[in-house]
Structure 1
């Protein structure tokens, strides 16, 4: 009994401290008055870049085309970009907004930027964090393609009492910790108030591709749906730009914990906003979201 009281008091003061810290971050970092566009349809599909997306594109393309599409990060590097002509694109990688025309080592960012400027001949929204304003990436988009509408969001991490978090989430002043762009995408679509949000290509199986070499370096093989697995090698994951030390196994699994905890927070928030978030990925380790299988253009449990 005494231990329960102690835990409750500790939880209260922990939430109080986190709420006050989150409020301070909002006041310092967030842009006020953010408005997200209304949904164009009642259903949307968020496409992650995991290998299982190949199954969904092969077997459920008609379903996808009947929903409002949201793609993320490197999707513009694929042939499906111009085939699907997605109405929404989300880039959350901070590196995209710190690079410039002379940056080396991130050829993918140059290719994504070039694809957005030269290939998008339809109306498309590009969702980017508020700190991206004025970056080289955004300047090139603004000069190079008037069909792309820029939509800014606040990536400020909010923690604390649920009622406090939901108040700031709903006001678009911050979001749960988004360890992956999919968490960001789902959060934004929940706030746009779709009736149903379908998730595809969210394998979340990075732990299957972790190795430790003889020098105790952490190696990961990151495979996307557009990669040929045999062409992707295990690569060290470095902590700093100087590439002197890799992340530890403990830090890597802490990062994975944050990923899965983010989905749990999203599920609770989606219930609060009365939005169904449905994981239709053919392979996925996400246990926080309701799983569904698409059968003959319909959803079956």
Structure 2
């Protein structure tokens, strides 16, 4: 890199750094809510994060049969509380980051039913991590009065600037792992809580699977989850941004996917700086940032 290019990059990073702190001061704050809340009880040797990918349909029964939920701490995401095995695994940590969980959307009825289920089924201490950014002032405590559920905020402003500043922010809970998937937030939470081994299941990330454009110029893809019955995923379906609900274009979608995979590289480097390991145990996962150790 030539000297002029280095100067341009330095100026850009400086601008991004100043912009980040200005936005944080205006929209959020500089408190480390994750560290303040701390872990639930005494942390075990490893954290298991359960994604929503189709592979979890095979791996979850194996995890339960092996009794790993008795030896490791579990973190669940999104609608896992609707699964009958939720009460078996008893995750001590839960993360919600999709805007549909705190903003008005076409999924509001399903979301409210989920909150009712979560509130009723939790009979053990749990930390629920939610976005600090809440423009519609959604009241989590109103829908989750269960005193065993502790609501913990996490920051969502992504920093783009000097790598050293990024790591400094991450260590203090001021960075954001909100690169596109709730699993990445879960990884960040686990690292801040001090876990040195983090295992990922159900993170297939087959985000380009069945990607097509129909005759109406709508971007479509196969969107599969472990809880699907298979009937709704036979053909690619149009995909939409949830908030606001507008169709994806190919350019916007691919840019988001690229950012998502970049985020895994950022989290890998952050884990290494802490002396921690993120182990991808999802067979066939498209993530290439972490060491792989598929479940036998």
Secondary structure at 2:212 match in 1? strand
Match of 1:227 in 2: 228
Please say if residues 126 and 149 of structure 1, whose CA atoms lie closer than 8 Å, have aligned partners that are also in contact. Answer: yes
Please say if residues 100 and 242 of structure 2, whose CA atoms lie closer than 8 Å, have aligned partners that are also in contact. Answer: no
Q: Distance in 1 between matches of 2:18 and 2:77?
A: 32
TM-aligned CA distance change 1:262 to 1:4, over 3 Å = same
Q: Distance in 1 between matches of 2:71 and 2:242?
A: 43
Q: Distance in 2 between matches of 1:141 and 1:271?
A: 36
Please say if residues 116 and 143 of structure 2, whose CA atoms lie closer than 8 Å, have aligned partners that are also in contact. Answer: no
Match of 1:15 in 2: 13
| Alpha-carbon displacement from aligned partner over 1:44-88 (angstroms, at most 9, x marks no partner) | 001101001122213233234421000001111211212211111
Match of 1:299 in 2: none
Name structure 1 gaps, 5 residues minimum: 296-301
140, 144, 160: which one aligns with 1:141: 144
TM-aligned CA distance change 1:82 to 1:166, over 3 Å = same
Match of 1:298 in 2: none
What is the 5 A alignment of 1:111-126? Answer: 111-126=113-128
TM-aligned CA distance change 1:240 to 1:118, over 3 Å = closer
Q: What TM-score do you get using the length of structure 1 for normalisation? A: 0.87
| Alpha-carbon displacement from aligned partner over 1:176-218 (angstroms, at most 9, x marks no partner) | 4421111111111111110111111100002103221111111
Secondary structure at 1:230 match in 2? coil
| Alpha-carbon displacement from aligned partner over 1:15-48 (angstroms, at most 9, x marks no partner) | 2221111121222223333242136212100110
Q: Distance in 2 between matches of 1:226 and 1:75?
A: 9
Q: Distance in 2 between matches of 1:241 and 1:95?
A: 7
Q: Distance in 2 between matches of 1:66 and 1:276?
A: 18
Is 2:84 aligned against 1:84?
Answer: no
Name structure 2 gaps, 5 residues minimum: none
Please say if residues 50 and 201 of structure 1, whose CA atoms lie closer than 8 Å, have aligned partners that are also in contact. Answer: yes
What is the 5 A alignment of 1:101-112? Answer: 105-112=107-114
Match of 2:249 in 1: 248
* Alignment coverage as a number of residue pairs: 287
Q: Distance in 1 between matches of 2:244 and 2:193?
A: 40
What is the 5 A alignment of 1:36-51? Answer: 36=34, 37-38=38-39, 40-51=43-54
After the TM superposition, which parts of structure 1 deviate over 6 Å for at least 4 consecutive aligned residues? 240-243
